[in-house]
Chains A and B, each alone.
Chain A
Amino acid sequence: MFPQRPQFKEFIQPLTHLTCFSCNTENSRPFKDGDYVFKEVEEKCPKCGSSKMLITGIYIEDRQIKERER
């Protein structure tokens, strides 16, 4: 009956991919303000416990897009 406010597409937050300097393990977490590719961050490696990691990528994974479309 009343005109509906058009809905905007939800914005997908990219994931930050990190690689451990000690054991080369790769893991990801949601993007945090201040992250950029090739930044060295003081974060604990989930595998070896080392506290220095490198951001190797920041991108939206295909599965995130599929989840939004579902």
Chain B
Amino acid sequence: MFSILQIGGQQDIFSTLVSLIWLLLLMTFFLYPGFSQRIQLSYILRDLERKLNRLRMIDDDVRERTLRTLQEYAEANIDVKNELDRLVDSFVISPESMDPYGIVYKLEHIVNTWEDRFEEDVAKICSKADNVKVKTLTNLVEVSRGVHFIYRLVRHYYLLGKRTQNVYLVLQMQMLMPQIMEIAEAYRQASYAFTQGQPIGDGVGVLAVAKLAYGREKKTYEIVKDTLVHELEFDGRRLIIVRATGPGGAVGRPGEGVRRLVESEGDRVKLIITIDAGLKLEGEESGKVVEGVGVAIGGTGVDKYKIEEIARAKGIPLYAIVIYESITEAITPMREAIAKSVDRIIEKVKQVITEKIEEGATVIVAGIGNSVGIGVT
């Protein structure tokens, strides 16, 4: 006679139960194909939730540090918390690209308006801070805004994936999370640097040209907002250095600066050299100095476009020197390897000038990057 105990081919009740559970599981997977996906989804969501929680803590930490720093320079009657929230939640709408004609200038106008407004607002909140400090505090608020945006974006995809039970959406997010967490942690470290006005890795281009100009007789003036020019003689050549004004945190407008210089110098400019920090690939050495052709400038592309445009029109060769660093090294306090690359950069610049340019000609050397913690020489 058939007995339930015969199902597993065993005679004891325990083995039969195990066999039944196995059978049930197999049938669940067979009859309900989405079951494995649901298990995977809940596992990914739990992992994302843990990381999102950490991101929220980073966001809170940076926000708190920014708030404390701004309060130091604000009058007692100002509601700094509210003002900071307003700045952190502010946004920029990029220009319409359906008709791309003139988009660079539209983008430049929008970015400049946003930067100016941001700085004015920080200056209004921190009325006790001087001009140099206001620039660094503006950078600090931008860091706070950046990390908050990352948190909001990850939260959005997490909640969307959870609500729609979309495993593919959360899976993509989970794959990106290691890099996102690294960037968020770099932002957290950057907030310390900007709170105290310490030089960051991105400033290596500015540091190199500052050192090149140091101790030499020169004429110094501001060509555009936050952008300085040093005019000096080097080995019989005329050297024009363009850099962001320091020691406050600023990147200046090197594109516009170089454009105006080339236009005023006529055909005397024979070479444009740009020096900037560049993202290294994994496994590459930080602080390695490499040479190339083109314009070494990151950001929105406006500065790069302006230099390329004027150089093409006047037939000026473009030379670039890049210093390898990771994204974390670029926005956190400068590392030894990067700081020590400055002497090698200067040697390369001198070599290029003496080898490629005849005596009496003019060369523009633009040191690109954030000038926080780097004084004017």
Q: Which residues of A contact B (CB under 8 A)?
A: 5-6, 8-9, 11-12, 14, 31, 33-39, 55, 57-62, 65
Among residues 167 to 197 in chain B, which have CB atoms less than 8 Å away from a CB atom of chain A? Answer: 185, 188-189, 192, 196-197
Q: Are A38 and B210 in contact (CB under 8 A)?
A: yes
Q: A38 to B207, alpha carbons, bound, how many Å?
A: 10
> What's the tally of chain B residues with a CB closer than 8 Å to chain A?
30
Q: A19 to B349, alpha carbons, bound, how many Å?
A: 24
Q: Which of B57, B197, B339, B376 contacts A38 (CB 8 A)?
A: B376
Q: A31 to B198, alpha carbons, bound, how many Å?
A: 8
For A63, give the chain B residue with the smallest CB separation. B336
For B373, give the chain A residue with the smallest CB separation. A36
5 tightest A-B CB contacts, nearest first: A36-B247, A38-B375, A59-B339, A59-B334, A14-B333
Q: Which of B54, B57, B196, B199 contacts A37 (CB 8 A)?
A: B199
Binary interface profile of B, 70-112, with partner A (CB < 8 Å = 1, else 0)? 0000000000000000000000000000000000000000000
Q: Which of B58, B247, B336 contacts A61 (CB 8 A)?
A: B336
Q: Are A62 and B189 in contact (CB under 8 A)?
A: no
Q: Are B246 and A36 in contact (CB under 8 A)?
A: yes
Q: Are B185 and A58 in contact (CB under 8 A)?
A: no
Q: Are B336 and A62 in contact (CB under 8 A)?
A: yes
Q: A57 to B375, alpha carbons, bound, how many Å?
A: 11
A residues near B54, Cβ cutoff 8 Å: 6
Q: List 26 A-B contacts (CB under 8 A).
A: A8-B58, A9-B189, A14-B198, A14-B333, A14-B334, A33-B196, A33-B197, A35-B197, A35-B373, A36-B199, A36-B375, A37-B207, A37-B374, A37-B375, A38-B375, A38-B377, A55-B375, A58-B199, A59-B333, A59-B336, A59-B338, A59-B339, A60-B333, A60-B334, A60-B335, A65-B335
Question: Which residue of A9, A31, A35, A60 has the most chain B CB atoms within 10 A of its CB atom?
Answer: A60
